[in-house]
Structure formats: structure tokens, C-alpha cells
Amino acid sequence: MINMTIYSKENCPLCDKGVRIVEELKKDFLFEYDVIDIYKDDDLLEKYQVMIPVVVIGDVEIDFGQLSKEKIRKGLQEAIG
């Protein structure tokens, strides 16, 4: 099973849009994802505060900011092998 993480924060329209993109991709790929609020972890806040949303598959950062459905799709395809 492919595991994806979306680093996000509350009240973030870009993050909400990113989650919708990921949900759309669930129609074509079998994967699970977690949404992590960077404001609940100081290390994540320091690392991602100006980048969110950030999509990570495994331990590879796939995309950030204005998320691209195609970049995420490509990352999922690569994770499948």
C-alpha cells in the first residue's frame, strides 16, 4: 500500500484544494493518506511553514504550494513501480 502525507494547516485554502486533488486521485490509485497539521510539531513548522501544502509519498517530497495533479499522479505511478 502506498502511503502519502499531506503537510497542511488549518484555514489554508491551498491545503483544502490539495486534499481535493488527492481525493480525486483515489479514483485511479490505491493509496492511503494522512493530513498533518504543521502547527502541532515545531520541527515540521520550521521545515514547511512557507511551503504548505506539501505532498510526500514515502519519504519523497512530490510537490508543494500550488499542487499539480499531474506531479502527484506521476509520484504515485513511480511509487507503484
What's the pLDDT score for residue 81? 84
Nearest-angstrom CA–CA distance, 50 and 24? 25
- H/E stretch holding 4 reads strand 2-8
Nearest-angstrom CA–CA distance, 26 and 42? 30
Q: Domain 2-80 has what CATH class?
A: alpha beta
pTM (2 decimals)?
Answer: 0.95
> Which grid coordinates belong to 48?
514547511
Is residue 66 predicted with pLDDT exceeding 90? yes
Tens of pLDDT, residue by residue over 25-56, are 999 999 999 999 999 999 999 999 999 999 99
What are the domain boundaries of the chain? 2-80
